[in-house]
Amino acid sequence: MNDTTIVKARFAPAPTGYLHVGGARTALFNWLYVRRNKGKLVLRIEDTDAVRSTEESTKAIFESLKWLGIDWDEGPFFQSGRKEIYRKHAEDLLAKGLAYESDEVKGNHKAIIFKVPESGKVAIQDIIHDKVEFDCSFIKDIVLMKSDGTAAYNFACVVDDCLMGITHVIRGDDHLSNTPKQLLLYKALGFKVPQFAHVPLILGPDASRLSKRHGATSVEHYRKEGYLDKAFVNFLSLLGWAPGDDREKMSIDEIIEAFSLDRIGKKGAIFDLKKLQWLNGVYIREMDVKELCSYCRGYLESLLDTEENKQKYEFVIALVQERLKTFAEVVPLTKFFFAKEIKYGRKAVKKYLLKDGVLDVLDKVLSVIEDADDFSIENLEKAFVALKESLNVSNAKLIHPVRVSITGIAASPPIFETIVAVGKDACIKRIKDAMSFIKSGEFPYELGE
Ligand code: GLU
């Protein structure tokens, strides 16, 4: 490749389902590579399989790419509209005697098949794996056109990569076994061979190929769960690639600047959900609270139905900002601030409410809250200190039962902020309710608890 050749890569998904994490990572690496090298990205929809390809999947893939911020410079091209181009090249190979027609006619056409030489070797010079050699005697003849008149993957891929001027084929190394076949086709067609970079697969925690068995694999799932686009892209970029120093949180510009194919590892990368959650938490903590509010609003929409709840929304979000790992987590962490009736966690009740002396403590707390005319954090804190001293109990013995009574859960933001945000009337009601639940032994538990 001479220096004036512009880098051109492509992302070529088959629209047979949503965009999964592996596809997204492939798309991202292609995108990063062309942006780093001021090249161009082609989007090609490989929809030759009319039965399995759907418009719905194509749309879902576009939407996920948009969310990830991956744009393209050429396309989208649809292989389903390019049948005649593939047929013409297949017929050229027939005419040259390099392919033959199969007698077996299933559809309306005769299949066209490429004849693989019986001996010899095909060598791939891969950017990531270096030299990989294949023996022709192990390669079966290659279907170019199927008997239903459509082109087979290996053939359509080669014809398109050449006609679209692709200089770099960056794809998952599950395609490594296709590459020798594709090389034979490049040579037979007289096409210039692009550079290949086969990226090691993404693995689950048990080091086997990432699949649904390990949990959700669609990009859409992670968007819905409340991962920030920037955090998710940052995480994806580190799946198999590293900047060469110890940076982990990187802006997209920093990633583009540092990106190179030779820093992609040869071994599979483990999809570490904990790391994704951690990284997302880092982004959330750095957010302006108003911005965080807008990301979380959709998850709590149904609870933000009163003026009072709308007014305390920002205060509540600020209270949990430190602890949030995803936007969806605002629901379990904050719904008790807004809900009219709360549900209780079974473990929290058992550990902190169903204990001797709790009713007495709650009764005293009830009086303190009822008597607090100035319902401020400072004032409540003072009143609780006085109560603790007069009851001669530990802080924990006082605070935990109050927390569980008011929130239903064992961990909440600081207790006085929580009491103030829940509000005086609601606190009184919840403590009274909790006391009668303790007496009856019947709590409204959270579903599944
Ligand atoms: N349509 C193929 C896939 O989705 C593309 C493979 C390639 O990049 O050549 O796996």
Take residue 328 and report the two structure tokens written for it: 């969806």
What one-letter code names the amino acid at 406? I
Q: What is the helix (H) or strand (E) element at residue 368, kind and residue range?
A: helix 358-371
Does any ligand 1 atom lie closer than 6 A to the CB of residue 46? yes
Cα gap 99→181, rounded to integer Å:
13
Take residue 225 and report the two structure tokens written for it: 């769960």
What one-letter code names the amino acid at 164? M
What one-letter code names the amino acid at 224? K
Q: What's the rounded mean pLDDT across residues 216-223?
A: 96
> Has residue 441 got a pLDDT over 80?
yes
Q: What is the helix (H) or strand (E) element at residue 229, kind and residue range?
A: helix 229-237
Residue 448: predicted pLDDT? 79
Could you tell which of 153, 168, 169 is best to mutate to test the pocket of ligand 1, judged by most ligand atoms within 8 Å of the CB?
Answer: 153
Calculate how far, in angstroms, residue 15's C-alpha sits from the geometric centre of ligand 1. Answer: 10
Residue 239: predicted pLDDT? 97
CA of 186: how far to CAs of 154, 157, 436, in Å? Answer: 10, 10, 79
Tell me the pLDDT tens digit for each residue of 224-262.
Answer: 999 999 999 999 999 999 999 999 999 999 999 999 999
Indicate the pairing of strand 112-114 with strand 121-126: unpaired
Tell me the pLDDT tens digit for each residue of 283-341.
Answer: 999 999 999 999 999 999 999 999 999 999 999 999 999 999 999 999 999 999 999 99
Protein residue closest via CA to atom 5 of ligand 1: 12
Atom of ligand 1 nearest to the CA of 178: 9
Where residue 392 falls (left for φ over 0; alpha for ψ -120 to 50; beta otherwise) is: left
Q: What's the rounded mean pLDDT across residues 386-398?
A: 95
Q: What's the rounded mean pLDDT across residues 398-410?
A: 97
> Has residue 4 got a pLDDT over 90?
no
Confidence bin at 105 (pLDDT 50/70/90): low
Does any ligand 1 atom lie closer than 6 A to the CB of residue 171? yes
Calculate how far, in angstroms, residue 174's C-alpha sits from the geometric centre of ligand 1. Answer: 9
DSSP code at position 218 = B
Atom of ligand 1 nearest to the CA of 174: 10
Where residue 66 falls (left for φ over 0; alpha for ψ -120 to 50; beta otherwise) is: alpha
Q: Cβ contacts of residue 393 below 8 Å, gap of 6+? A: 357, 361
CA of 235: how far to CAs of 28, 241, 246, 280, in Å? Answer: 11, 10, 14, 9
What percent of the chain has pLDDT above 90?
A: 95
Confidence bin at 447 (pLDDT 50/70/90): confident
> Has residue 3 got a pLDDT over 70?
no
CA 62-252-1 angle, 5° bins: 80
Does any ligand 1 atom lie closer than 6 A to the CB of residue 175? yes
Atom of ligand 1 nearest to the CA of 26: 8
Tell me the pLDDT tens digit for each residue of 413-425.
Answer: 999 999 999 999 9
Calculate how far, in angstroms, residue 268's C-alpha sits from the geometric centre of ligand 1. Answer: 18
Calculate how far, in angstroms, residue 169's C-alpha sits from the geometric centre of ligand 1. Answer: 10
How many other C-beta atoms lie within 10 A of the C-beta of residue 73? 11
Do the beta carbons of residue 122 and residue 19 sit within 8 Å?
Answer: no
> Has residue 164 got a pLDDT over 90?
yes
Q: Which residues pair with 168 in a beta bridge?
A: 9, 195
Q: Cβ contacts of residue 102 below 8 Å, gap of 6+? A: 110, 111, 112, 113, 147
Cα gap 428→250, rounded to integer Å:
47
Tell me the pLDDT tens digit for each residue of 180-213.
Answer: 999 999 999 999 999 999 999 999 999 999 999 9
pTM of the prediction?
0.93
Q: What is the helix (H) or strand (E) element at residue 170, kind and residue range?
A: strand 168-172
Confidence bin at 6 (pLDDT 50/70/90): very high
Q: What is the helix (H) or strand (E) element at residue 10, kind and residue range?
A: strand 8-11
Does any ligand 1 atom lie closer than 6 A to the CB of residue 160? no
Calculate how far, in angstroms, residue 96's C-alpha sits from the geometric centre of ligand 1. Answer: 28
Could you tell which of 44, 160, 175, 185 is best to mutate to test the pocket of ligand 1, judged by most ligand atoms within 8 Å of the CB?
Answer: 175
Residue 109: predicted pLDDT? 86
Does any ligand 1 atom lie closer than 6 A to the CB of residue 19? no
Q: What's the rounded mean pLDDT across residues 143-153?
A: 95
Please compute, for residue 191, the number of CA atoms within 13 A of its CA located in the half-sphere on the CB side. 24
What is the maximal distance between C-alpha atoms in the chain? 101
What one-letter code names the amino acid at 2? N
Question: Across the chain, what does the average pLDDT equal?
Answer: 96
Q: Cβ contacts of residue 15 below 8 Å, gap of 6+? A: 45, 46, 47, 53, 54, 55, 57, 58, 61
Residue 103: predicted pLDDT? 74
Does any ligand 1 atom lie closer than 6 A to the CB of residue 366? no
Calculate how far, in angstroms, residue 329's C-alpha sits from the geometric centre of ligand 1. Answer: 35
Protein residue closest via CA to atom 4 of ligand 1: 13
Do the beta carbons of residue 348 and residue 409 sit within 8 Å?
Answer: yes
Does any ligand 1 atom lie closer than 6 A to the CB of residue 61? no
Take residue 270 and report the two structure tokens written for it: 């483990």
DSSP code at position 115 = P
Does any ligand 1 atom lie closer than 6 A to the CB of residue 12? yes
Take residue 415 and report the two structure tokens written for it: 């207790």
Atom of ligand 1 nearest to the CA of 171: 8
DSSP code at position 18 = P
Q: Which residues pair with 112 in a beta bridge?
A: 101, 145
Confidence bin at 5 (pLDDT 50/70/90): confident
Buried b (16+ CB within 10 A) or exposed e, 163-174: ebebbbbbbbbe
Q: At what angle do helices 83-95 and 153-163 cross, to 10 degrees?
A: 100
**Listed range (3-7, 44-48, 226-230, 299-303) with the worst mean pLDDT:** 3-7
Query: Is residue 414 reached through a cis peptide bond, with omega within 30 degrees of 0 on the bond before it?
Result: no
Which 3 state secondary structure label does DSSP give 244? coil
Calculate how far, in angstroms, residue 152's C-alpha sits from the geometric centre of ligand 1. Answer: 12
Coarse DSSP helix, strand, coil percentages of the chain, rounded to the nearest 5 percent: 50, 15, 35
Residue 99: predicted pLDDT? 98
Calculate how far, in angstroms, residue 230's C-alpha sits from the geometric centre of ligand 1. Answer: 25
CA 6 to chain centre: 31
